[in-house]
Structure 1
């Protein structure tokens, strides 16, 4: 007798709520416009203080006649906010879950994973993480959607949802020249340490991917510390 609960067949699409999209496209420009207006007021205040540096540029800005100056800084602020809003919307994550596969859509790029590839799904902070059969990270993306929504969707379709990283106890802090790491990994960690220190997020992301090719899973901790574990053998379904 088959006692397994039936799995939902209709795809579940998980995306950021409409109100958050409105914040990106309306709220960000409004905040930018407000910031522009505030900067205009601060410039007036700074010109009255002789000890404030950059008096020359401030006087040049203040020489623009009103209301053109105020209108200009508000428009520039609103446009900057709109650009940031489009970037945030572009980087938002949409997840489609079916009994057979998971599709992640972010930055106009789709990544698809078969059900058989996935050994665990969980949230870590604000990130959604999918692990493969060897414990490797298949995906690790930020998302503003609630954990409850993700947990319900993945469980409904029969995926192994976890309340936390099942390999959390395996992580060790990286220090230079650790002999347990694969050949070349220490050099990549050293380069990534410099990238993190210089706030070069794109470089750090690329080096993380290079470490993954060597079978090393990386987790970032407080103070830009790096933690690592090695992937293992394929786990059973």
Structure 2
């Protein structure tokens, strides 16, 4: 017998089936317009102000780069003002280009999520995804064995990404990493790590201290291949946890 209880019908309506049409998530048109218009304008204004102050700075005996400021101040008008504006606009466009690459964009559908940041694209199947969450400036997708399927570092609107993932049935975790309690800080000669892991941790610590991001990410991948998930805090200290292999019934 079918229930006519309005509360029952209301509760069912709150959990619609996953949508079949992919959802594109990324910076809004307004955000991109502000980025591409704002930085060139700011660059032009900043360089124009520098050109106005060049002669004064060059007159200060303690000021650094006096030779550069003297050269700028010696340029005739209107060449000086025009040059400052053009260089400022070009510098602003360059900054906008690199800033846009830091945006995380995604096409999220019922079968897979295609995620891009800094020119690198990752495709993660829906069936392989057990958890999705925000970890600081990182968007993280975990598999059923708790291994990281993807970790994307960049700028993204967590609310919009959460809505898109949930729309297509992905398990979004608003409270963050469901395995956060498993992490422990790495120290040399710590027991419980697989063979070769300590050497990778030492190399990665060196890469982090030197600001070598690509090397640090490559070493993260190599640790993941050993079944070790690693992340670092704001002080560059590394924390790790083992994956949880799935068992076949």
Smaller-chain TM-score bracket: 0.7 to 0.9
Q: What are the Cα deviations for residues 4-50 of structure 1, in whole angstroms up to 9, with x where unaligned? A: 85222222211211111112321121122222123324433322211
Q: RMSD of aligned C-alpha atoms?
A: 2.2
1:34 aligns with 2:45: yes
- Tell me what 2:138 maps to: 127
Q: What are the Cα deviations for residues 156-211 of structure 1, in whole angstroms up to 9, with x where unaligned? A: 22111112100101111122232322222222222222222222222222222222
1:69 aligns with 2:76: no
Aligned ranges 1:1-237 → 2 under 5 Å: 6-163=17-174, 164-234=176-246
Task: Give the 3 Å change call, closer, same or farther, for CA 42–220 of structure 1 in structure 2.
Answer: farther
Q: What are the Cα deviations for residues 41-66 of structure 1, in whole angstroms up to 9, with x where unaligned? A: 44333222112233233323322222
Task: Give the 3 Å change call, closer, same or farther, for CA 169–75 of structure 1 in structure 2.
Answer: same
Q: Which has the larger radius of gyration?
A: 2
SS of equivalent residue, structure 2 residue 170: coil
- Tell me what 2:4 maps to: none
Structure 1 gaps, min length 5: none
Structure 2 gaps, min length 5: 1-11
Check whether the contact 2:51–2:72 (CA below 8 A) recurs between aligned residues: no
Q: TM-score, normalized by length of structure 2?
A: 0.84
SS of equivalent residue, structure 1 residue 144: coil
Q: TM-score, normalized by length of structure 1?
A: 0.88
SS of equivalent residue, structure 2 residue 130: strand
SS of equivalent residue, structure 1 residue 60: helix
Task: Give the 3 Å change call, closer, same or farther, for CA 61–94 of structure 1 in structure 2.
Answer: same
SS of equivalent residue, structure 1 residue 141: strand
Check whether the contact 1:119–1:235 (CA below 8 A) recurs between aligned residues: no
